[in-house]
Amino acid sequence: MPETKNLSALLSGIDDLKITDTEIPEPEANQVLLRMGPVGICGSDVHYWKHMQIGSFVVKEPMILGHESAGTVVKLGSSVKTLQVGDRVALEPGVPCKSCRFCVTGVYNLCPDIQFLATPPYHGSLRQYHCHDASFCFKLPDNVSLEEGALLEPLSVGVHANKKAGVQFGDLVLICGAGPIGLVNVMVAKAAGSSRVICTDIDNKRLDFALECGADDILNVRGMSELDVSAKLVEKFGCNPDRVIECSGAQSSMRVAVHCIRPGGKIAFVGLAPNDDVTLPIITGSVKEVEMTGIFRYANCYPTALNLVASGKVDVKKLITHRFELMESVHAFEAAFRGEGVKIVINCA
């Protein structure tokens, strides 16, 4: 077996994902070099594997995948003071420019120059060794595993969406979609003190799992008309819900959100539809003075996500249904593509 330096899951074309040896990167002054551990697969990784592009992001050069990850610090850049060798950290994958008007006003998720792992042209962290900005590495306390650290990434989407949707104590919250993103939103909505969380989907297995993740009730909407779904939800809640976090991206589900939300309520659109153009009953929404917000990734959510896991308020471990080794990455991706399980994690260590 020839000695390898840095085995990496490198995407070179459609369906062309190979474990390839690459150089071990040298950390810049503000970075740390990490020995990577668990890396979760996200729908975007699978999409790049199958299409080599998402919207205007096109993979033009071979790109290492993976952005939901955690690892151990093995080397410090020259100006790093916040971490030490041996620290186990979760990686927040998007490092912004830190100086544009979005960055300086605290909404760095909107930075046009953000370097996000495994979004072209930036390599991801599905490799044995990876360098990352130390201020975007979050040290894990002893009671939080590296796998839980990797799952802070999708959990942060849930934190951000709940914050922007304004979920508060006592709220009635509808979560549309019971995929991993719907599930983390269910978990965060419950942790945020909402009094009732109902989850919708078209798959019974996923919905049963939503109950295990803390949803108070579920509804399988397959085959139902939008207005029937809306009426059924209002019946289940007892009234119109205060907040809707839409995670499926399905037009019908987005329309249900507008129909069932209470006047003055707030909808957060997390799920991305297959097409940019979606039809919404806007007058229904307008006369109810509904607020709608888009959700794009997260900003300043990792500390909260980490606290939720470290305190035991949220259990992200249960989301991991499949585990693979780095050399088996293609199998992992195939399982993800078939829609098996909830969260598939690849171990690089």
Partner 1 sequence: MHMQSLVYVAGDKGVDLQSRPVPCIQNPDDVLVKVKASGVCGTDLHVIDGDFPAPLGVILGHETAGVVGKLGTEPGHLKIGDRVAILPVKACGSCNFCKTGRPNLCKKGGIANAIGLGPNGALAEYICVSKDILFKIPDDLSFKKAVLCEPMSTVIHGIDQMEPFDKDSRILVFGGGITGTLAASYLTDEGFENITVCQRSEARREFVRKQCQGFDVDVKSPEDIQNDFELHAGDDKQGFDVIFDSTGNAEVVQKSLDYLRAGGKVVIFGCAPATAEITIRPFEMFARELSMVGSYLHSNFDRAVERVASLNRKQRLNFDALGIRMFDLESYREAFSELRSKTILKAVFVMDS
Instruction: Give the residues lining the site for partner 1 (CB under 8 A).
Output: 30, 97-99, 101, 103-108, 113, 133-135, 299-300
Between 48 and 138, whose beta carbon lies closer to partner 1? 138
Instruction: Write down the least CB distance from residue 177 to partner 1, Å.
Output: 29
Q: Which residues contact 232 (CB under 8 A, 6 or more apart)?
A: 219, 224
Instruction: Write down the least CB distance from residue 105 to partner 1, Å.
Output: 4
Instruction: Write down the least CB distance from residue 343 to partner 1, Å.
Output: 27
Instruction: Write down the least CB distance from residue 136 to partner 1, Å.
Output: 8
Q: In terms of C-beta density within 10 A (0-12 exposed, 13-18 middle, 19 or more buried), how is residue 217 classed?
A: middle
Instruction: Write down the least CB distance from residue 102 to partner 1, Å.
Output: 9
| Cα–Cα distances in angstroms (integers) from residue 349 to residues 17, 66, 71, in the given order | 19, 14, 8
Preceding amide of 121 cis, omega within 30: yes
Q: Which residues contact 234 (CB under 8 A, 6 or more apart)?
A: 240, 260
Check: CB of residue 49 under 8 Å from CB of residue 88: no
Between 197 and 301, whose beta carbon lies closer to partner 1? 301
The rounded distance, in Å, linking the Cα atoms of 254 and 225 is 13
Between 98 and 317, whose beta carbon lies closer to partner 1? 98
The stretches of the chain forming alpha helices (DSSP H) are: 43-51, 146-150, 152-165, 180-191, 204-212, 226-237, 251-260, 282-287, 302-310, 329-337
Instruction: Write down the least CB distance from residue 134 to partner 1, Å.
Output: 8
Between 40 and 93, whose beta carbon lies closer to partner 1? 93
Which residues pair with residue 139 across a beta bridge? 89
Between 22 and 300, whose beta carbon lies closer to partner 1? 300
How are beta strands 320-325 and 243-246 bridged, if at all? unpaired
Between 108 and 324, whose beta carbon lies closer to partner 1? 108
Between 52 and 306, whose beta carbon lies closer to partner 1? 306
Largest CA distance in the chain: 68
Instruction: Write down the least CB distance from residue 101 to partner 1, Å.
Output: 5
The position carrying tokens 């799992």 is: 209
